[in-house]
Every structure is written in C-alpha cells, then in structure tokens.
Chains A and B, each alone.
Chain A
Amino acid sequence: MEEPGLREIGCEQSPLSRPDGSATFMQGDTSVLAGVYGPAEIKFSREIYDKSTVEVMVRPKVGLPAIQEKNQEQLIRETCESVILGTLHPRTSITIVLQVINDGGSLLACFLNAACMGMMDAGLPMRAMFCGVTCVLDSDGQLTIDPTTKEQKESRAVLTFAIESTEKRILTISSRGVYSTAELQRCIAAAQLSAQKIFHFYRDSAKRRYSKS
C-alpha cells in the first residue's frame, strides 16, 4: 500500500467582502480563489421552477476561458448540483466563480475543494461535503496522489475524483491516459483514503473559524 502523500493544504475563509461566501484553497503550489453568490435573483429565462440554477465560472490566470475551462466548469457544476439542496431555493441562482491564482498541478481537484469551502462559507444547504483528489500513474504503474505539474506531465494517466463525505462514494471522475481496471480500483482506494484527510482538514478549519476568536 502506497503512502498517500498529499501536499500541504491550506485554506483561508472569507478573504473577500462582497460575495456571500469565499475561500482560498491551497494545495502545495496550486491555489484557487472561490467566490460564491446566492441564492440570488435570476433572469426569467434561466430559472428552474423546482430548484435553484447553479452556475460555475472558471477564470484562468491569463486570457479568457476556453474549451478546456468549459469542460471543467461542467464537471464542477454537476458535482456541486448533486450535493446542494437546490429544492430549498427554487427559482434562484447560485453562482460560483473560481479564479486560478497559481497552477502547480492537480488544478481540477483544487477547484473542487475551493468550491466546496466557498459554498460552506456562504452557508448553502448541502446534503454532503465533497472533495477533489487527483492521482497519476507513471509508466511503471507507480501511483502518486496530488501530483505537481511536472509529475502530471511525465505520467501515463491522470485521474481526478470527487468524493462525497457521507459514504465516501464517487461523485465525479475525469481522466486522461490509458490504465487498467485494477489500476482504477487502486486509484479509487487511494483517493478515498486521501479524501478522509481532506475532510478532516475541512472540519478543523471550520472549527477554527467558528470557535471564539
């Protein structure tokens, strides 16, 4: 069993004053700033009559969002939608803006973590928490959790999972590269183990924030 080595994780809650909730999430050199607005008013054409409309915007460090960002936006949006109790706020919009501050690998996982912390900070009703974990497999089948950009480039396969907190089941998978079924199962097991650590971190940082200071 490989030692699941997450890089150092850090988080700042409510760094921004205007959004309803915000959070900066750092994993090693990667850091992402999330701002969450909502439940707020929505354009008539976009409203859903029985639940809230979730919108995710991913802003790259330079330039405008391209196709790759659209793909990430969809993954993050569907993940958030599946945990937010949208039926409590029908005909409203929930907007999550994710700004890349620095990309040092495992960006999608960091997006997911920042989004979750941001939603928690905004006090949105959720049925579970979720976290993002990225694994890479190199040519010898060696598994690395939470890779850096360099490790990601040299790898044979990159897999990103979103795992929910109640039963540690898989919400989202996105992958690139070729790998076998056994390797997939190994990655899932390792990701679930790391998810445990991230959820502990969520709990600790929430505790720190809401204990008297």
Chain B
Amino acid sequence: MAAGYKTVEPLEYYRKFLKQSCRPDGRGLSEFRITTINVGSITTADGSALVKLGNCTVICGIKAEFANPAADAPDKGYIVPNVDLTPLCSSRFRPGPPGEEAQVASQFIADLTWVLYCDLICLDYDGNLLDACVCALVAALRNVQLPSVKISEDTGLAQVDLSTKSPLKILKKPVSTSFAVLDDTYIVVDPTDEEESLATGLLTVVTDEDGKLCTIRKPGGSSLSAERLQECISRAVSRHKEVQALLDEVLLSVKTL
C-alpha cells in the first residue's frame, strides 16, 4: 500500500514524514547515511579509495606521471580530475561522451612536477555524488605514495627509486556536505537520489579543518536567507569532524598493517 502511494504521490509521501522530522529511510533531517571508507583498494594505482554513503558508491584511483609544468606555475604540479558516471551506476546515464552532470562534478573538484590523474568512477548512484567524490578524492590523495626521484647529472634523465616512497603533503583536507531543500522549507542533509529529484533546491558546502569554507555551491532553486545558510554551515563543520575522525582511523589502520 505504502509503495503504491509513494509511486503515485511521491511528494505527499515525503511530506508526511518530514512533518514528523524524519525521513522514509529512518534518518532524522540532519543525519547522514552510514559512511564507509576503504583506502588502498586498487593495488596497481598510486593511491586509491572506495567510499560508500549508504548505497552511493564512488571509487577513486590516482595515477602519478611526470609532465612538463604548466607555463604559468613552473614550480607546481597539477591534478587532472575526472568523474565518470557510467550507465552501470544508474539508468539515468547513457554511454557516450560525459554528460553535463559529470562535467560539473569534474569542475568542482586542487608540488612537484607530478601530474596526478584522479579518476573517480561512480559505481552506484544514489544521490549526494559530490560528497562521495570529494571524500574519495581526499582519502585517495592521502593514500598516494610517490617514489623518490633523482635527476642524474650525466644524462639529465630522471631515475625512479621505487624502494623509498613518500606520502603526498596535503595542505588542506576538505570535506563536502550536501543539503537538499524540500518543499521550500525543510532542509535535509545527505539527500538520496529520490530526495534530490524531489528537491526544490540543492546546496553543497565544503569546509576545511579550521572550520573555514572552501566552496559553497548553490545552483538556483529555493532562495535561502543568510540565517538558514548559517545553519547549514554549522552542520557542515560538525560533519567535517565526523569524516575527519573516520578518515584518520582508516588511514592509521592501513599503516599499521
């Protein structure tokens, strides 16, 4: 019965739950789905991570390569992020060139003259793609082990010493938190695919470990007052602590192995 009601009147179905400050999957309005992080999942990559937010699964692999530095920043390496949304993860995506959503996600995601190719592949799409991507990227970057390199003086060629490896220095550890506005009034955190499609507005806040903001992205939708925005930012800061603790724990467990 409930399933039929949900199919016919999805918004009304959600309203019934939201009035009681909960969601059909049993979460409160500001509650995340269970987050699982696994680092070093791909042994052939220089760094990798698999992140699950409920059903939403994203895997990130990082490949390091030598390249000429960009002309405008000769002392810096650069990263090439790429997000793949394949037809495997949801029927919404068709094979072919990357769609708009994938391109937007790629744009969203920033020493040495290393190029880091960061490929993120979504395995199972269930909303909140950006959070999962950012989390997977950061976890994978922290997992990267670069071999030491010496430039030989006689030949001018680089010699790679695979025996000594050093981790990347990560300056910031951003964590992203997404919100969906339902019915112009209710703000729910970590929306599922269903919630995203019913939402009247979306908002993503990225914070760093000092509680500063790295990025806010709100593409149109319901307008928000500065106060409502502040509530979302506070939630994002507390979420950062949760993810940070989880990440530290996972990375530590890998090292001790």
**A74 with B224, Cβ < 8 A, contacts A68-B107, A181-B233 known:** no
Question: Which of A1-9, A29-37, A142-150, A172-180 lies at the interface?
Answer: A172-180
A172 touches B218 (CB 8 A): yes
Q: Which residues of B contact A78 (CB under 8 A)?
A: 219-221
A70 touches B216 (CB 8 A): no
Answer yes or no: B212 CB below 8 A from chain A CBs: yes
When C-beta atoms are compared, the residue in chain A nearest to B202 turns out to be A78
**A81 with B220, Cβ < 8 A, contacts A70-B104, A188-B226 known:** yes
Within 8 A of A (CB), among B195-212: 201, 203, 208, 211-212
B213 touches A173 (CB 8 A): no
Q: Residues 89-109 of chain B: 1 if any A CB is under 8 Å from the residue's CB, otherwise 0?
A: 000000000001001101110
Q: Pick the contact of B104: A71, A180, A189 (CB < 8 A).
A: A71
Q: Pick the contact of B223: A167, A181, A189 (CB < 8 A).
A: A167
CA distance A181 to B203 in the complex (A): 16
Answer yes or no: A85 CB below 8 A from chain B CBs: no
**Number of CB contacts from chain A to chain B under 8 A:** 91
B220 touches A181 (CB 8 A): no
When C-beta atoms are compared, the residue in chain B nearest to A167 turns out to be B223
B107 touches A79 (CB 8 A): no
Answer yes or no: A136 CB below 8 A from chain B CBs: no
When C-beta atoms are compared, the residue in chain B nearest to A163 turns out to be B223
Q: Which residues of B contact A170 (CB under 8 A)?
A: 218, 223-226, 229
Answer yes or no: B222 CB below 8 A from chain A CBs: yes
CB distance from B207 to the nearest CB of A (A): 9
Q: Pick the contact of A180: B212, B215, B216, B217 (CB < 8 A).
A: B212
**A171 with B220, Cβ < 8 A, contacts A181-B230, A185-B226, A188-B226 known:** yes
Q: Which residues of B contact A80 (CB under 8 A)?
A: 220
Find the residue from B104, B201, B211 having the highest chain A CB count within 10 A.
B104
B220 touches A178 (CB 8 A): no
Find the residue from B106, B219, B230 having the highest chain A CB count within 10 A.
B219
Find the residue from A167, A169, A178, A180 having the highest chain B CB count within 10 A.
A178
CA distance A173 to B214 in the complex (A): 12
CA distance A74 to B229 in the complex (A): 21
Q: Residues 169-197 of chain B: 1 if any A CB is under 8 Å from the residue's CB, otherwise 0?
A: 00010000000000000000000000000
Q: Which residues of B contact A178 (CB under 8 A)?
A: 172, 208, 212-214
Q: Pick the contact of A179: B104, B172, B201, B213 (CB < 8 A).
A: B213
Q: Which residues of B contact A180 (CB under 8 A)?
A: 211-213
Q: Which residues of A contact B230 (CB under 8 A)?
A: 181, 185
CB distance from A179 to the nearest CB of B (A): 6
**A171 with B223, Cβ < 8 A, contacts A178-B214, A181-B213 known:** yes
CB distance from A66 to the nearest CB of B (A): 9
CA distance A190 to B218 in the complex (A): 18
CA distance A172 to B223 in the complex (A): 8
11 A-B pairs whose Cβ atoms sit less than 8 Å apart in the complex: A70-B107, A79-B220, A167-B225, A169-B225, A170-B218, A171-B220, A171-B221, A171-B223, A175-B217, A178-B172, A180-B212
The 8 closest A-B pairs by CB, nearest first: A78-B220, A169-B223, A78-B219, A79-B220, A82-B220, A71-B107, A173-B218, A70-B103
